[in-house]
Amino acid sequence: MLSSASLPGLAAHGVAVPAYPRDGAPGVVHLGLGAFHRAHQALVFDRLLAEGDRRWGVLGVAMRQPALAQALAAQDHLYSVQTASAQERSWRVSGALWHSCVASESPHTVVQAMAAASTRWVTLTVTEKAYTPALAALLVQGLRARRAAGLGGLTVASCDNLSGNGRQLRALCLAAANDPANDSARGSEDGLADWIAAHCAFPNSMVDRIVPAASSVTSAEAAQALGVPDQAALRTEAFWEWVIERNFVDDTDAATLSAVGVQVVDEVAPFEEAKLRLLNGSHSAMACIGALARLPVISNCIAQPAVYQLVHGLMSHELGPLLRRPDWPDYRDALLQRFANPTLQHSVHQIATDSSQKISQRWVPSALAALQAGLPVERLAFAAACWLRYCRGVDEQGRAYVLADPLSESLMALARAAGDDLDTLVATLGCLPAVWGEALPAHPGWLPRVRHWLGRVQAKGVLVSADAVR
């Protein structure tokens, strides 16, 4: 089993391992212990720790499921990350995670950690659907305890794929702080929202790295490469970007993070927009196409000439021209290569998970902007048609799959009720305000195109139809 005791042996095998002490009080409380954080921000913190900056050890908080936290605890919170491309593979062990806990089992531990003197940052990767009053109530409890302890504020950094993620989280937290239901000692606690607004920072950020969910294949490969089992091993690509707004409680964090490759900028929006629309937008389109055509991973999808052409055209003609990120053509070209990375094995069903929560960030703003600018929306409408078809829960060869989505029951019920009546499918699923908003379905240039492509997909199949999108 991977553990502190196995590190010297691994170093002798050429695996990069942490050589710094891991026994202090964490400076970061991270909510959402999934694969993404562990292969992205945690590796930035690992690098800072390796350079001797002891302030970046992480308490990793699993929101609900105890299994991963237990597996990590059994291996001294060490885990390996493989960086993989067609050309090269390398392994390193991250030492950034020092402790873990499970929020649903011990919210008090999270609150206490936020109120600890050593804590400077809270980071979050809790997924789109978790930005709820319950999340904000937990954060606000921690901040309240922190104020009561006479400590300063925290930098609270959302790292989820939401537009204006920091702004959204700040608004949720301020609303929770103003909500009497969250204040057990109202009266003495007045002014918490003002304190948060004055003392805490909620930088917007864009985080980018393709990190597939942990799998038994990765664990088996880790065991072989390391010579010891690792139940929490991950695989990722070499590419990573973290662009964060210059908005920290401690201004010197900007220079600290910049020194290890984080881009600290005054305005994140151009980067966030490019990433959400080009990467995540294409991902969600391929996820639906792949689910229907039984192409299990993204590299299978992009290897299909029709899909490659569709995604290239989507980025070049419908999304890119409206972006403010000046180097978007380079980002697009890099993305096409990243999607093709054969070693990532990034499951389309993983990406299709929670699509009802993702579409409003990934497709809707692009479609509205393109329509307003007089640009084509054929490929976006095709993607939308594929999602409607995807909600039937059955692929083109008749095999059922699980629709992992908080709205799955109602989505499947609407798809069932419409049956083969495509007009009804478009008028119901295609108009859900929670997914599509109000403006896009109301635009005369949108639904007829969705209906057109849905008809094609139904009649000819998804790949043949993709080939016809121009």
List interacting residues with ligand CS2 (CB under 6 A).
Answer: 161, 208-210, 279-280, 283, 350-351, 358
Q: Which is nearer to ligand CS2, 119 or 123 (CB)?
A: 123
Q: Which is nearer to ligand CS2, 17 or 289 (CB)?
A: 289
Q: Which is nearer to ligand CS2, 264 or 352 (CB)?
A: 352
Q: Which is nearer to ligand CS2, 2 or 301 (CB)?
A: 301
Apex 210 CA angle, 263 and 467, nearest 5: 115
Shortest distance, position 137 Cβ to ligand CS2, whole Å = 26
Shortest distance, position 170 Cβ to ligand CS2, whole Å = 21
Q: How many CB atoms are closer than 10 A to CB 108? A: 12
Shortest distance, position 280 Cβ to ligand CS2, whole Å = 4
Q: Which is nearer to ligand CS2, 7 or 33 (CB)?
A: 33
Q: Rounded to a whole number, what is the distance in angstroms from the first to the last CA of the chain?
A: 53
Q: Which is nearer to ligand CS2, 235 or 358 (CB)?
A: 358
Structure tokens at 279: 């990467």
Shortest distance, position 322 Cβ to ligand CS2, whole Å = 20
Q: Which is nearer to ligand CS2, 210 or 244 (CB)?
A: 210
Closest CB to ligand CS2: residue number: 283
Q: How many CB atoms are closer than 10 A to CB 4? A: 15
Shortest distance, position 460 Cβ to ligand CS2, whole Å = 27
What is the C-alpha separation between 328 and 278, in angstroms, rounded? 9
Q: Which is nearer to ligand CS2, 143 or 206 (CB)?
A: 206
Shortest distance, position 245 Cβ to ligand CS2, whole Å = 18
Shortest distance, position 124 Cβ to ligand CS2, whole Å = 14
Shortest distance, position 359 Cβ to ligand CS2, whole Å = 11
Shortest distance, position 330 Cβ to ligand CS2, whole Å = 16
* Strand order from edge to edge, sheet including 205-208: 205-208, 241-245, 263-265
**Residue reference for tokens 């305890």:** 145
Structure tokens at 437: 């908003």
Evaluate the CA torsion angle 272, 273, 279, 282 in order and state its sign: positive
